Amino acid sequence: MEKSLAEMQREVDRYISQFKEGYFSPLSMLARMTEEVGELAREVNHSFGEKPKKSGEEDNSIELELGDILFITLCFANSLNIDLTEAHDKVMHKFNTRDKDRWTRIDADPQQEEEQQ
């Protein structure tokens, strides 16, 4: 079963709510997010770059690192009362209007493309 962003936000909130500490401050969460993005970069570099893992280095995966980033994003949004579904809708509207003609569409008519140029 697929979960919606709202369901994920509620699930994370239930998890965090069981601890006295609750959500960390926005600055702490930004630091944590930066740390997680660095770990993702390391995994991408090992998988697609020229830097192999050291012998005995723990196996992580891009999937798990993306999951960590998603978790901290959900925490960050919850702590600031941001509905990520609304945020996503706003961002998609921005891209669908501002960038609608920025990239070459797969379904574009080549003749129509020439006429626009």
Work out how many domains the chain is built from and give that number. Answer: 1
The stretch 64-81 carries a mean pLDDT of 98
Residue at 76 is within a domain: yes
Q: How many helices (H) and strands (E) does the chain have?
A: 5, 0
* Residue 115 pLDDT class (50, 70, 90 cuts): low
Domain CATH number, residue 17 = 1.10.287.1080
Q: Which structural domain range is residue 12 located in? A: 5-102
What are the pLDDT digits (tens) for 7-49? 999 999 999 999 999 999 999 999 999 999 999 999 999 989 8
Residue at 117 is within a domain: no
How high does pLDDT run on average in the chain? 91
DSSP string, 84-112: HHHHHHHHHHHHHHHTTTTS--TT--HHH
Residue at 113 is within a domain: no
Angle among Cα 70, 38, 18 to the nearest 5 degrees reads 40
Residue at 62 is within a domain: yes
Residue at 49 is within a domain: yes
What's the pTM?
0.82
